[in-house]
Chain A
Amino acid sequence: MWDLLEEVISHAKGWTEIRYHNKLVNSITIRKGELEESSSIEKKGVGIRVLINGTFGFSSTSQLKKESLIHALNEATVAARDASVNKKKKVKGLQTAELASGDFKPEVNDPVESHSLEEKLSLVKTIEEQMRKSSPIIQSAICIYRESLDEKFILTSDGARAHILDSKPEFRTTAVAVKDNEMQMGARAIGVTGGWADLFHEESPEELADKSVKLAIDLLSASYPEGEKAWVILDPGVVGLIAHEAIGHTVEADWVLSGSIVKDKLGQFVASELVTHVDSGPSQIEPHAGGVVLVDDEGVPTQRTVIIDHGVLRSYLHNRESAKLFGVSPTGNARAWSYSDEPIIRMRNTYIEPGTSELEELISGVKHGYFLKGPVGGQADANAEFMFGVREAYHIENGKVGELMRGVTISGQAFDVLKSCDGVSHEFKWGLGAGYCGKSQRAKVDAGGPYIRCKAIIGGKQKG
């Protein structure tokens, strides 16, 4: 592969990046006893980016012959030249960095490739059946196993020459409970960077299935919360979602440049002193985070980037272009989902660092509030106003965790929420390993943290 890419880059005029990416995704889905999918999807090709007259041009092709690649290089060059006529603010250059060279692969225990298709099929079948047969009110169940195996070769005209391997398996269980024309769903999902042993290191497939079933059944008899602003305790998954979705996006340098809420706030207090917020390429604190990136798609080795240090905003997330503009080092946040996507600024593993409080202590201090567990999904704006769905919400009354509520959403302005934070526990967990982030293209990310206590708006039912 190197010979082909080097041959193509020899035809380039100006700064050029050539990235071969083969993404192989194998999936098995069984729903209500039927195999819906047993598939093997291979997406491979080459993406070429050039920088000419202060303007990027990008072209990609799934045709891997030398002539096709040279054609793509020419197309990228034409695109850059044409666009440069209209581009007002020219790219001032790319920040220099010690670019990656060599072979890179994450720590993998018990590679997924050494487990047979038969074994994976049998596991998915058994777990789906276990959920369906566990209770007469479980009407349907879904179990999904998916593994993403990636290989990349990244070559740039200024010295990156990285060969990268990656392995990211996921496992999902969903149970559907029905009673008296009422339908509820309980779901769990895990995802890691690593192998088979790493995937099931924390929870076994059987435990995930049991938890999905229990939640679906419990939700049938749960009531709605009243909509209000209240004290909440967030579990590591929900903390991770705030760290990623509500705070993380606002500190991506491209968002900052288009006027996000944290523009010009470096060095200022933006959160409680208890909050330290980090985005890291390698897995920190606990191993095998689902968003591990060792080298980004511009060939920059990744690092642990402290964004908020004890409440003070310290850094944004950069690619080489924005790093040059801000006069800092690139943080290794340029990522592309597939060969046909150009690298853009994305997060990796985003979290809040653990503190010193005990969870029990955080709960006992709440007179009236909610304990929120398990993020379902989220959205946030550049002004950091966010909205997340939460899988499980429990009432807290007089310091005691009470009944389960359904259909809960939390919302607020993320920095206000973090300023209201008055307790951070010492536990730490990754909670979003099966998650994907969407920002014009997908990215595999993870996020997590400790338990924290803060104030947020709970969406609920109004009397009337």
Chain B
Amino acid sequence: MELLEICDTGLKEAKKLGAEETEIYAVSSKHLEVNIEKNDIQLARSQIEDGVGIRVFKDKGLGFASISDFGALKQGCQRAVELARQSPKDPYNKLPEPVEIKKVPNLYDPKSENFSTKLALEQTISMLETARSYDSRITVDRGMFQAEITQEAIINSSGVQVEETSSFFVYYIMGMAVDGKQVSSFAYEFDGVRFVDEIDVKKCANDFARKVIDSLGATKGESFKGQVILSPESVGSLVASAILFSVNANNLQKGMSRWKGKLGSQVASTSLTVEDNGLIPGGLGSSAFDREGIPPSPLTIIEQGKLNAYMYNTYTALKEKRSSTGHAAGGTTSVPGIGPTNFTIKEGKTTKDELIKGVKQGVLVNRFAGFPNPLTGEFSGVVKGGWLIKNGTLATPLCETLIQGNIYDLFTKISAISKERKKVLSSLLPWILIDDVSVTAG
């Protein structure tokens, strides 16, 4: 059965059971995967996975069920309606009306249909051998190559009816370098593409290899308060995560965002401009529609440090009598939440090398291992693959070094952003120089 047919069957079933509004989201995916472990092929695998998310409203009460077997559609609808029956009324429980959608180009590569386990193995071996031949001290602890084709469809009782097919290749490699008794910091590198011809596992392997070899000979640094340069990966875990939390309309409405009522206010230094655009052709976060079947509106979230936009799904938009920005997110196993599409930070004016040259005493953070609290903005964690910067040069790799601060306070202390940017899956992120960060050496 086609996915739209399954959605339609679910819609009718839920209505028969008494649902007043129904949304059926069906996904069917095929994937191939090859895993690396301990410098060798560990396992080849294949997977066929179906899933349906059933959201119903009855007397404005919410019920949600998810099934993984299309044959269980009827039972799923029964469970969702039963949950809705017992849920409290909420006037904002309403499904969206259809909005015209346009196909986003380059999300699907027809060649992916013929991508076999053998081809996945070839790519995996190439990634492993590239890293191992870079330097004999490298140990690849784990790695993976995955090829996936996903079909999805959404139908709701207000007339939304959309479907899309996409392909996705993702690969990562992680490990360390071992030199006698010296073990480097653990590092990883990953990438994702939509087309077979874009796959470049060698670049990924070489970048990984360079990282771990460079971090050999790490020493404990110095404790001070001063400048740090965040790599694109650490910008992702520290900066992007905090922004995304604070512009999420649900967090704003539930009193959990510090940026409530701050639209138009300066929340960061003027060098910071942040965008989200889900319609970029071929983008890893691109789709013609969101989890509710609404096209994502491109947003400039922060423009030269000024807060410019929040992200909404239908529920949160209705509360503010506005329309959704098309940022409903999630899979078949959860009620639609809110999430980004392709998140980008605009490039700056300084090259990465110039950023380093301008630092007298500081730390380059290649990876941040910690748990930044997006609500309070507080973060405290370990610098991974980090470097001590002395008088404008990378002086020595660091171990046992912690950084601490409040990310919202530090947004105003961004002193420069690099020209170069790196694709971190669906995000495009630069290197960022920040002042006034506490650095503690172990």
Contacts and interface: CB of A to CB of B under 8 A. Distances in A.
A79 B117 contact: yes
Interface string B68-88: 111110001001101110111
B86 A139 contact: no
B121 A464 contact: no
Contacts of B399: 385
A175 to B, nearest CB: 11
Interface in B324-341: 333-335
A412 B440 CA distance: 12
A463 interface: yes
Contact of A40 (B64, B121, B442): B64
Contacts of A413: 400
B8 interface: no
Interface string A163-197: 00000000000001010010111000000000000
Contact of A382 (B51, B186, B225): B186
A387 B381 contact: yes
Nearest to B401: A411
Contact of B178 (A34, A254, A259): A259
B183 A261 contact: yes
A409 B68 contact: no
Contacts of A184: 376
A41 interface: yes
A356 interface: no
Contact of A259 (B79, B139, B185): B139
Closest 9 CB pairs of A and B: A464-B225, A227-B440, A459-B402, A79-B44, A409-B380, A83-B44, A140-B255, A58-B45, A387-B382
Interface in B83-98: 83-84, 86-88, 90
B57 to A, nearest CB: 12
A370 interface: no
Interface stretch (A86-94, A102-110, A200-208, A271-279): A86-94
Contact of A462 (B87, B381, B440): B440
A35 B440 contact: no
Contact of B37 (A80, A258, A383): A258
Nearest to A388: B371
Contact of B72 (A42, A78, A125, A139): A42
B63 interface: yes
Given A86-B121, A258-B139, A183 B442 contact: no
Nearest to B333: A41
A411 B83 contact: no
Interface size class of A (residues with CB under 8 A): 35 or more
Contacts of B164: none
A389 B370 contact: yes
A258 B38 contact: yes
Interface size class of B (residues with CB under 8 A): 35 or more
Interface string A234-277: 00000000000000000000110111010000000000000000
Nearest to A387: B382
A405 B141 CA distance: 38
Query: Which residue among A88, A140, A254, A387 has the maximum number of chain B CB atoms within 10 Å of its CB?
Result: A387
Nearest to B128: A86
B176 A382 contact: yes
Interface string B375-402: 1101111101000000000000001101
Given A42-B66, A64-B71, A259-B178, A381 B256 contact: no
Interface of B: 34, 37-51, 62-72, 76, 79-80, 82-84, 86-88, 90, 117-118, 121, 125, 139, 141-142, 144, 175-176, 178, 183, 185-186, 223-226, 250, 253-256, 258, 333-335, 369-371, 373, 375-376, 378-382, 384, 399-400, 402-404, 436, 438-440, 442
Interface in A361-398: 376-377, 379, 381-383, 385, 387, 389
Nearest to B116: A82
Contact of B255 (A76, A80, A139): A139
Interface in A319-375: 340, 342
Contact of B378 (A55, A64, A80, A406): A406
Given A34-B90, A38-B86, A382-B183, 19 more contacts: A38-B83, A45-B49, A45-B69, A61-B49, A78-B117, A79-B44, A79-B46, A87-B41, A117-B82, A181-B258, A183-B375, A227-B439, A259-B141, A383-B185, A387-B381, A407-B404, A409-B380, A461-B225, A464-B226
B380 A183 contact: no
A464 B361 CA distance: 13
A62 interface: yes
A60 B121 CA distance: 19
A61 B352 CA distance: 47
A42 B64 CA distance: 11
Contact of A63 (B69, B80, B88, B121): B69
A275 B175 CA distance: 29
A10 interface: no
Given A185-B375, A259-B176, A411-B442, A389 B380 contact: yes
A72 B47 CA distance: 8
A79 B31 CA distance: 12
Interface string A397-415: 0000000001111011100
Contact of B224 (A32, A42, A464): A464
A118 B86 contact: yes
A459 B90 CA distance: 44
Given A82-B121, A185-B376, A460 B438 contact: yes
